[in-house]
């Protein structure tokens, strides 16, 4: 995949070569993110950070990264999008917002809306989560984290994903990215009504990867190299309808990690956390979820440089 000028809408767009390039660029971003080195490569560029649904980490991850590269940022969040209260359509909103920036990051309420924004925009659109669809930049930082924590070896890994897999967009995108590697084994742990969408499972199986679906947390965790916990997406269930998962139904505690997980398991969560991971897990060296926040900054920095076609100017 060529990065320059691309909209980044789905994890399906990536191949192994583009991931390698992105990750090697991300490493070069670390000293800039830590302010050991100053960089002005995006001087004069404006990021439009447009969030039709609330966000903290993704919004600030992009914002911090863009500022560290010398660019400027305009942020609008759902609370302040006046057009949302004045009856403007999503399409009109994008038609207007694209004039204010050189690249836009959008978070939308419904699956498929980021692709609609891309069709309407002459500046590159980066999907920062569209409803229960996808969240490609989170998946990129998740995969980068797995690579960092597992010494750059992703082929052959066994990944357990736990919780509201049906409605959590991050696991949809991450499963797609992982499916590019060899001999990946997935264990999806959730009640049937919250399981990974059937089309995603079908594609993994078609690629010859191993998929196990279970309701059993303890047995499902055994032999996993990474465990990815997600929260219950209660805001995506219609009012009056019951969510198939109870809050904390699948809860990772220090005792469970000690009894059922491999000693070197990587414990991940896109955050925000509810009750899925007990705080007594936080001190374990395996707990990677707060390290993921910093990885999110450097991955997004690398993506901005590549999509804006500035890689040659970056020295
Ligand atoms: C996730 C999201 O928004 O999909 N958060 C994030 O971007 N870090 C996960 C979630 O909200 O549960």
Q: Would the CA dihedral through 278, 281, 283, 287 be positive or negative?
A: negative
Residue 24 reports pLDDT greater than 90: yes
Is the CB–ligand 1 distance for residue 270 below 6 Å? Answer: yes
Residue closest via CA to ligand 1's atom 11 equals: 272
Cβ neighbourhood burial of 67 (10 Å; 0-12, 13-18, 19+): middle
Q: What is the pLDDT of residue 294?
A: 97
Q: Mean per-residue pLDDT for 5-9?
A: 98
Residue 9 reports pLDDT greater than 80: yes
Distance 314 CA to ligand 1 centre (A): 30
* Secondary structure (DSSP) of 72-84: EEEEEEGGG-HHH
pLDDT grade for 176, boundaries at 50, 70 and 90: very high
Cβ neighbourhood burial of 218 (10 Å; 0-12, 13-18, 19+): exposed
pLDDT tens for residues 278-312? 999 999 999 999 999 999 999 999 999 999 999 99
Q: What is the pLDDT of residue 79?
A: 67
Distance 10 CA to ligand 1 centre (A): 16
Residue closest via CA to ligand 1's atom 7 equals: 58
Ligand 1 atom with the smallest distance to the CA of 57 is 8
pLDDT grade for 128, boundaries at 50, 70 and 90: very high
Quickly list H helices, 150-223: 169-178, 198-206, 217-221
pLDDT tens for residues 197-244? 999 999 999 999 999 999 999 999 999 999 999 999 999 998 888 999
Ligand 1 atom with the smallest distance to the CA of 138 is 7
Distance 57 CA to ligand 1 centre (A): 8
SS3 188: strand
Residue matched to tokens 């969510």: 243
Q: What is the pLDDT of residue 304?
A: 98
Ligand 1 atom with the smallest distance to the CA of 128 is 7
Ligand 1 atom with the smallest distance to the CA of 170 is 4
Ligand 1 atom with the smallest distance to the CA of 53 is 3
pLDDT grade for 149, boundaries at 50, 70 and 90: very high
Is the CB–ligand 1 distance for residue 131 below 6 Å? Answer: no
Residue 175 reports pLDDT greater than 80: yes
pLDDT grade for 314, boundaries at 50, 70 and 90: confident
- Cα–Cα distance for residue pair 195/204, rounded to 1 Å: 14
Instruction: Please tell me the least confidently modeled range out of 21-35, 77-91, 127-141.
Output: 77-91
pLDDT grade for 315, boundaries at 50, 70 and 90: low
Q: What is the pLDDT of residue 77?
A: 83
pLDDT tens for residues 63-108? 999 999 999 999 888 766 777 778 888 999 999 999 999 999 999 9
Please enumerate in sequence order all residues whose Cβ is within 8 A of that of 269, keeping only pairs 6 or more positions apart, or say none: 228, 229, 230, 231, 276, 277, 289, 292
- Cα–Cα distance for residue pair 141/71, rounded to 1 Å: 21
Count of residues for the chain?
315
Is the CB–ligand 1 distance for residue 271 below 6 Å? Answer: yes
Share of the chain above pLDDT 70, in %: 98
In whole numbers, what is the pLDDT of the chain averaged over residues? 96
Q: For 276-285, which contacts have Cβ atoms below 8 Å and span 24 or more sequence positions? A: 276/162, 276/163, 276/229, 276/230, 276/231, 276/248, 276/250, 276/251, 276/252, 277/229, 277/251, 277/252, 278/251, 278/252, 278/253, 278/254, 280/253, 280/254, 281/252, 281/253, 281/254, 281/257, 284/254, 284/257
Is the CB–ligand 1 distance for residue 129 below 6 Å? Answer: yes
Q: What is the pLDDT of residue 88?
A: 87
């Amino acid at each position: 995949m060529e990065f320059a000028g691309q909209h980044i809408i789905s994890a399906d767009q990536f191949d192994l070569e583009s991931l390698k390039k992105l990750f090697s660029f991300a490493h070069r971003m670390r000293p800039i993110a830590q302010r050991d080195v100053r960089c002005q490569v995006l001087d004069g560029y404006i990021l439009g950070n447009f969030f039709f649904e609330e966000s903290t980490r993704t919004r600030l991850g992009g914002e911090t990264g863009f500022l560290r590269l010398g660019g400027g940022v305009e942020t609008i969040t759902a609370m302040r999008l006046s057009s949302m209260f004045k009856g403007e359509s999503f399409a009109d909103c994008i038609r207007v917002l694209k004039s204010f920036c050189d690249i836009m990051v959008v978070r939308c309420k419904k699956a498929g809306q980021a692709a609609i924004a891309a069709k309407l925009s002459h500046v590159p659109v980066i999907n920062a989560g569209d409803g229960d669809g996808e969240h490609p930049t989170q998946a990129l930082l998740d995969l980068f984290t797995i690579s960092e924590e597992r010494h750059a070896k992703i082929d052959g890994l066994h990944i357990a994903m736990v919780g509201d897999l049906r409605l959590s967009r991050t696991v949809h995108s991450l499963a797609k990215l992982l499916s590019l590697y060899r001999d990946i084994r997935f264990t999806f742990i959730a009640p049937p009504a919250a399981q990974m969408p059937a089309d995603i499972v079908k594609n993994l199986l078609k690629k010859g990867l191993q998929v196990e679906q279970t309701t059993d947390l303890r047995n499902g965790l055994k032999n996993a190299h990474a465990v990815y916990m997600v929260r219950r997406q209660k805001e995506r269930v219609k009012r009056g309808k019951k969510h198939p998962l109870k809050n904390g139904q699948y809860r990772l505690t220090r005792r469970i990690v000690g009894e059922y997980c491999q000693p070197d398991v990587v414990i991940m969560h896109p955050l925000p956390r509810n009750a899925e991971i007990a705080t007594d897990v936080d001190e374990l060296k395996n707990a990677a979820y707060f390290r993921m926040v910093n990885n999110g900054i450097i991955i997004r920095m690398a993506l901005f440089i590549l999509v804006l076609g500035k890689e040659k100017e970056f020295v």
